[in-house]
Amino acid sequence: MDRVTLHGLRVRGHHGVFQREREQGQTFVVDLALGLDTRSAAAGDDLTRTVHYGVVAEEVAAVVGGEPVDLIETLAQRIADQCLTHEAVQEVEVVVHKPEAPITVPFDDVTITIKRSRV
């Protein structure tokens, strides 16, 4: 399985369990690894036989910037579901970073990583 990856997609969202997170929002960072077979696209130099990562980025940004959820686990699942709507994509790994999480001790980042497939 080949992989098309996007790293560091930054989108403002209003996700979290605290009211201030919902009201003020914060930046979420998303990394994606899309699993697909790119041989046909490469052989014919044909975008229609692969996944358009620009379109995927826009769709993921719409999910993150869209309807608020309490958990980054839910957000990651919604992102994975959106990625799997693309016919060429057979599997996806989604990492959602929440670097501004409301934690009272110093930290660098909070992440959730999920893998989903059509099977």
Catalytic, 98? Answer yes
CA–CA gap between residue 15 and residue 12 (Å, rounded) = 9
Nearest to 64 by CA among 18, 14, 98: 14
Of 86, 97, 98, 116, which one is the catalytic site residue? 98
SS3 119: coil
- Show which residues are catalytic: 98
